[in-house]
Amino acid sequence: MSTAPKILIVDDDQTVRINLFEMLSRKQFHVMAAENVTMAMEMVGESAPDIVLTDLKMTDGTGLDLLKKIKFKLPTVPVILLTGHASVDTAVEAMRLGAHDYVLKPVQSDAVFAVVEQALQSRKIGKVSRTLRAARQKSGMKKDKPIIGNSESLRKVMIRAKKVASSKATILVSGESGTGKEVFARYIHSESDRANGPFVALNCAALPEGLLESELFGHEKGAFTGAVSAKKGKFELASGGTILLDEIGEVPLHLQAKLLRVLQEEEVDRLGGSEPVVVDVHVVASTNRNLKDMVAEGTFRQDLFYRLNVIPLLLPPLRERKSDIPVLAQYFLEKFSRIYDRELKPFSESVQRAFLADNWTGNVREMENLVERAVLLCQTPNYQLEDFWDDIPEESSGTDSVVSPLVWHASPVAAPAEDSPVKIHADDGSLVSLKNVERQMILHALEKTDNNRTHAAKMLGISVRTLRNKLHEYRNSGLLV
Ligand SMILES: Nc1ncnc2c1ncn2[C@@H]1O[C@H](COP(=O)(O)OP(=O)(O)OP(=O)(O)O)[C@@H](O)[C@H]1O
Ligand SMILES: [Mg+2]
């Protein structure tokens, strides 16, 4: 039996199938082809391919459908998407679902070989599939997601959150969508003396009224049609720990009254129950709406507002704490490069500038999504504007030396590594001059970055212009040829 790696090609276009078949057969692969999802799954069942290359649109389903099916059946088989430029977002979606990589159509043999080779390598060294790894990392991170940022305003909120974490007083976290309200709620829990107890979150906007009530307070068997057994509500489940009432502004008025009673009495009435159940929970509520306005409009009870708002925590929007932008961007870049096994590449200066100038209406979540997408899409040695935005913001055009590296201080800075060839002592042990150290560092940075002045300047924490001037100076004084 042949030991050549088996590759399954799935595409409804015969020309593409033949083209890829010939391309890969020439490289001694064992190639099979299918024209639709059904046929592909039969082949997957019969001959367990090592790699699957699939088109996005087939007659009986999509490449994503096939991906999900394969991931269910053979989770470690790398699936590579064939995609046109117009479907790049679908490719990103596919990568999130665990696709190994994607290749742009029309397929170029070099690109196909490179991706296939890489997929085989990752299979050989027995890497767990990306989906599983990413899912694990994501769920792992969910528990103790770090709060990233060094702005004064974020730091103030953190200090306050830590200070009040162990009190029983209700905390109301407000802020625009994506500012990190849930992250903060989890932080409060982890910093409290209830950290070993449960943390239970309930999104009050996600459920229809009837269901929300039974989710919050629980129900007895037979309390309503469909209540085939008794069920604990979230308050009971959170007993001994913290409950996050997320999007509290969406709770309908009549439930607001019940909620107020629970907060005051510290006991819940299960639906259909006769005895109240005592609960011991720390309540954290969050909202992206202005509850005061809602009180004025009559859509939120004033007494409940006061009961919730004992300790207000206001998360400022990202555009009002610009100094968090570089650190967050770098954090997400490193996180997703790690999750998706991508090389850690720097942001170009125009990207840094655009990030600092952006309004971030979707706040940190928007940035997180944008960086994840870019990590999956970027094909160049550094991140360019088009990796993030289809419509490039106008204010970002201009020369690449406007952003002071001091502003974007999250970019790798030039602390000389321990094995740095930069010498601060002369052979006789005396210190060499500062000028000399500076020159060595500059030359070292240029060597490290293959003479890319933009990258070298960033490494050194100086502007490209300063770097240019220094080189000019060295040349004039004969220190550089
Ligand atoms: N300071 C931060 N450091 C690290 N990650 C953050 C930070 N703030 C937010 N995030 C991340 O951004 C995303 C959105 O955060 P979160 O869900 O807490 O926002 P939210 O304010 O609850 O949003 P929404 O109002 O839409 O529910 C999450 O993935 C979260 O991990
Ligand atoms: Mg939230």
Pocket test for ligand 1, best of 154, 156, 179 (most atoms within 8 A of CB): 179
Instruction: Note if the bond before 317 is cis, omega within 30 degrees.
Output: no
Confidence of residue 436 (pLDDT cuts 50, 70, 90): confident
State pLDDT tens for residues 241-258.
999 999 999 999 999 999
State pLDDT tens for residues 369-423.
999 989 988 888 999 998 998 766 555 444 444 444 445 654 333 333 333 455 5
| Res 410: pLDDT | 45
Confidence of residue 127 (pLDDT cuts 50, 70, 90): very low
Taking the centre of ligand 2 as the mean of its atom positions, its distance from the CA of residue 129, in whole angstroms, is 29
Q: Which CATH architecture has domain 152-316?
A: 3-Layer(aba) Sandwich (3.40)
Pick the CATH number of 324-476 from 1.10.8.60, 3.30.360.10, 1.10.10.10, 1.10.3720.10: 1.10.8.60
Ligand nearest to the CA of 175: 1
Pocket test for ligand 1, best of 148, 154, 174, 183 (most atoms within 8 A of CB): 183
The pTM (predicted TM-score) of the whole model is 0.68
Q: What secondary structure does DSSP assign to 336-398, as a single string? A: HHHHTT----PBPHHHHHHHHH---TTHHHHHHHHHHHHHHH--SSSB-HHHH-SS--GGG-S
Collapsing DSSP to helix, strand or coil, 52 comes out as: strand
Q: Which atom of ligand 1 is nearest to the CA of 173?
A: 21
Q: Which atom of ligand 1 is nearest to the CA of 177?
A: 25
| Res 180: pLDDT | 96
Q: Which atom of ligand 1 is nearest to the CA of 183?
A: 18
CA angle 275, 277, 283 (to 5 degrees): 145
Name the nearest CA neighbour of 223 among 184, 272, 264: 272
Segment 259-286 mean pLDDT: 91
User: Which residue lies with its CA nearest to atom 28 of ligand 1?
Assistant: 365
Residues with CB under 6 A from ligand 1: 145, 147-149, 175, 177-183, 288, 364-365, 368
User: Which residue lies with its CA nearest to atom 15 of ligand 1?
Assistant: 180
Name the nearest CA neighbour of 90 among 74, 76, 104: 104
State pLDDT tens for residues 19-37.
999 999 988 899 999 999 9
State pLDDT tens for residues 147-197.
999 899 999 999 999 999 998 899 999 999 999 999 999 999 999 999 999
Q: Which atom of ligand 1 is nearest to the CA of 154?
A: 1
Taking the centre of ligand 1 as the mean of its atom positions, its distance from the CA of residue 147, in whole angstroms, is 9
Pocket test for ligand 1, best of 187, 189, 328, 365 (most atoms within 8 A of CB): 365
CA–CA separation, 331 and 136 (whole Å): 18
CATH placement of domain 6-131: 3.40.50.2300
Same fold, 152-316 and 324-476: no
User: Which residue lies with its CA nearest to atom 24 of ligand 1?
Assistant: 177
For 335, other C-beta atoms within 10 Å of its C-beta total 18
Q: Which atom of ligand 1 is nearest to the CA of 331?
A: 4
Domains of the chain by residue range: 6-131, 152-316, 324-476
Q: In one letter, which amino acid is 451?
A: N
